[in-house]
Amino acid sequence: MLNELSFAEAAAAIERGDITSERLVRDCLDRIEARDGDVQAWAFIDPELALAQARACDQASERKGLLHGVPFGVKDIIATHDMPTGMGSPIYDGHRAGYDASCVALLRAAGAVILGKTVTVEFAGMAAPPTANPHNLDCTPGGSSSGSGAAVADFMVPAAFGTQTAGSIHRPAAHCGVIGYKPTFDTFGLHGVWPAAQSLETLGMLTRSMDDVELLSAALLGRPAQLERSPVAAPRIAICKTHLWDIVKPETVEAIEIARETLSTKGAEISELVLPDSFDELVPARDIISSYERARATAHEWFNHRDLLSAPLQRGVAKGFAWKYEEYRHAMKVGAERRRDLDVLFNDYDAIIAPCTAGEAPPDRNSTGDHTHIGMWNLLHVPSYALPTHKGPNGMPVAIQVMGRHGEDAALFDVAKWVLEQLVPA
Amino acid sequence: MLNELSFAEAAAAIERGDITSERLVRDCLDRIEARDGDVQAWAFIDPELALAQARACDQASERKGLLHGVPFGVKDIIATHDMPTGMGSPIYDGHRAGYDASCVALLRAAGAVILGKTVTVEFAGMAAPPTANPHNLDCTPGGSSSGSGAAVADFMVPAAFGTQTAGSIHRPAAHCGVIGYKPTFDTFGLHGVWPAAQSLETLGMLTRSMDDVELLSAALLGRPAQLERSPVAAPRIAICKTHLWDIVKPETVEAIEIARETLSTKGAEISELVLPDSFDELVPARDIISSYERARATAHEWFNHRDLLSAPLQRGVAKGFAWKYEEYRHAMKVGAERRRDLDVLFNDYDAIIAPCTAGEAPPDRNSTGDHTHIGMWNLLHVPSYALPTHKGPNGMPVAIQVMGRHGEDAALFDVAKWVLEQLVPA
């Protein structure tokens, strides 16, 4: 079925004329029809609207761009001019932004079909979403880009947007077993993306293939896509257990150890990185920044519609308004200082591998799992991937997290692609 | 008339019970009624809506917060749930966002009356606004926060929001003769502020009194207001002519020279700062970043409503899409490196004084003036003030620009207040 093609494979097949956008979109819609009653990955789907976009691509006299005719999922905190944007909140049920977020407009301009809106946790926060993990419906898909993770993993759409202020791209990627890419902070513009915390939030994507990341990034940034890249030789990779190693589960320990051994055998220069104790401050600092900024970003809803906010979000906003400004300033300083420290450490490494989630997706639909391992790196603003390289004791996906130097997303892409090829050979 | 009170004076008078919010708002509305046919500072005013907010403050059993009952103007790229937000563009004529920007919600929560929406240049860009300079109707008020500058200068409202990616706060402040405050980049959250360029845009304010900056900042940041501050003694101030000195007009040369002499007499340690040649790259780098990011932020309008964009904006967006990603990346690196350099330079100074605009407001309603002198500092992300300290040959206001160290807004406030008191004694 065409819905199993990756984004890049589908784009190439359409370009060659082997398949039509309409057939591809129909197969995606059929998959959604068959499965979404259980998975609940989609907040909004209008099959006719999706098919009309696909037919327009098929009938166009020339390709619109790199993404011509391929369907894409948009997290439901991201504005679309022709579909509602609900933010996962009853306050914005049926809300029409009236315009496309810049990321959506740029994908459309490059020819992508906006298939629909994927379920987001309420305002990309912590409340449990309706979505299930497609590998086991009793498990959480992770959050907050829950629908994007589940839809991509379940072959409903080849790729989708996610956003991350703590672990909201990599956690659903890890729990659903797809690739998560969070670029360097401030890489893709956030116009039309409902904010969670402005000093942390980053727009990224969930895909089933590394090439999809390259293709979609190229379209968003207005640069050529380089799918044929120079092979990576002997990358210098640091294994970093972090100060949180005691709270990871055996399957994550195993995923990291297998990565260490396999990549060393395949020619990587592996070393162990023990972060200075000052990096222990990252977790509490990120929490302060996130809740201080989220409270302010949620000011309108807090002061006008408090009863319609979930209990976890109400607690989060109350906590955010309770922080003293000086505490927030101190946390921001911790982030800035550790960013400088990490940049120096990256003189010695091409990438750092660290735990992603604690372990497999928890068998609990009322949780979105733990973001601590991801969040500490998120405050460092470096580009990172969640790569699904392993399986846990219940057969559920387990990921490793791979970080690169600030701004060096292209170099990290090459290393991450090499890492994934070694650990999960095609 | 009460409309001549500063924001802080009005807040204190209401707190003491000396005046009502309704009287104050009525005086502002009367001034607008009398003058706005000529000045055209307001994009939207609903007197009944403003008065209803004022009466609610007067009738409240307790003060809502620091800003209780005082009217404030909101630049019309900033979302308001109860007023249209038109972005200065026919595309968004009558547009209703459906929510308050976080900055608006926070001011309301602190008791401010949202008086109305002030005219913005189309999407905070470069096209000429309808607004006139209240000191001379044949002159530009500057842009893009044109209505905020004109309304505050003309005593229609005590203070208003502005946003700046190049010179959009300080240019109208300078040309209209009010105080402009642009905080450290990323100080106030931008949720609900229509974006121009995400790596440059900063929310700030235009006021007639330094204390207003403190009061409004405290409300936005959730910290106590410190209106009684320790006196500044012998601040270390650098005079920086910059590489653009050749293109400033005599009145700006005069404003800087008078500042140098007066502040030295009053006890400041004055030195001359000659920036390294590498700082010359800031002007072209800022232009590249601004147009690259603006093109993407305007993607929806560009691809769907191009005919409704002004000719200057169409040229700007086309230019922005033409930059190569590597050129943008280089420009971003220039900004980051010069920020590090400047931070080291600030070891020796408490503040830097530099030209603000080239000179007086040009006698041209079809221009918004030059932003070069302001834009170079804006890329450096440091906090800054436009202080109206001088008059030009035509009796129009001339400002100096005062910069502080990144993140040290409180320290800069003290120095800027001292500078203004020395140069423009009460």
Q: How many CB atoms lie within 10 A of CB B81?
A: 18
Please check whether residue A154 is in contact with residue A132, taking contact to mean a CB–CB distance below 8 angstroms. Answer: no
Q: Out of B102, B144, B199, B209, which one is annotated catalytic?
A: B144
Complex ipTM? 0.96
Name the interface residues of B facing A (CB cutoff 8 Å): 81, 92, 95, 98-102, 104-106, 108-109, 186, 189-192, 194-195, 198-199, 220-223, 293, 296-304, 321, 323-326, 329, 332-333, 407
Q: Give the containing element (helix H, strand E) for B399.
A: strand B397-403
> Rounded to an integer, what distance in angstroms lies between the CA atom of residue A393 and that of residue A381?
32
- The string of pLDDT tens digits covering residues B79-91 is 999 999 999 999 9
- CA-CA-CA-CA dihedral for A326, A332, A337, A342, to nearest 10: 150
> Rounded to an integer, what distance in angstroms lies between the CA atom of residue B294 and that of residue B303?
14
Residue A349, pLDDT above cutoff 90: yes
Nearest CA distance, A373 vs chain B (angstrom): 25
Fold of the domain built from segment(s) B2-221? Amidase signature (AS) enzymes (3.90.1300)
- The string of pLDDT tens digits covering residues A326-344 is 999 999 999 999 999 999 9
For residue B192, give the 3-state DSSP assignment: coil
Q: Which of B194, B300, B327 to mutate to test the interface with A (most CBs of A within 10 A)?
A: B300
Please state the rounded mean pLDDT for residues A27-49.
Answer: 98
**Among the partner residues A109, A299, A325, nearest to B106 by beta-carbon distance:** A299
Residue showing tokens 């059929």: A30
- Whether domain B236-279+330-423 has CATH 3.40.190: the reply is yes
Among B299, B286, B265, which Cα is nearest to B330's? Answer: B286
Among B355, B364, B106, B401, which Cα is nearest to B249's? Answer: B355
**Among the partner residues A293, A326, A407, nearest to B189 by beta-carbon distance:** A293
**Among the partner residues A98, A102, A299, nearest to B109 by beta-carbon distance:** A299
Taking phi over 0 as left and psi of -120 to 50 as alpha, with beta for the rest, B100 belongs to: beta
Residue B231, pLDDT above cutoff 90: no
Nearest CA distance, B232 vs chain A (angstrom): 22
Please state the rounded mean pLDDT for residues A291-317.
Answer: 98
Query: What residue ranges in A225-365 does DSSP mark as E strands?
Result: 236-239, 269-272, 351-355
Report pLDDT for A231.
Answer: 83
Report pLDDT for A134.
Answer: 98
Report pLDDT for B426.
Answer: 84
- Cβ distance of B300 and A192 shorter than 8 Å: yes
Nearest CA distance, A297 vs chain B (angstrom): 5
**pTM: predicted TM-score of the whole model, two decimal places:** 0.97
| Chain B, nearest residue to A222 by Cα | B325
Please state the rounded mean pLDDT for residues B262-285.
Answer: 98
- CA-CA-CA-CA dihedral for B13, B16, B17, B18, to nearest 10: -50
Tell me if residue B144 is catalytic. yes
Domain borders along chain A are 2-221, 236-279+330-423
> Rounded to an integer, what distance in angstroms lies between the CA atom of residue B175 and that of residue B362?
9
- The string of pLDDT tens digits covering residues B112-149 is 999 999 999 999 998 999 999 999 999 999 999 999 99
- Cβ distance of B222 and A300 shorter than 8 Å: no
**Among the partner residues B102, B221, B301, nearest to A299 by beta-carbon distance:** B102
Residue showing tokens 């409300």: B219
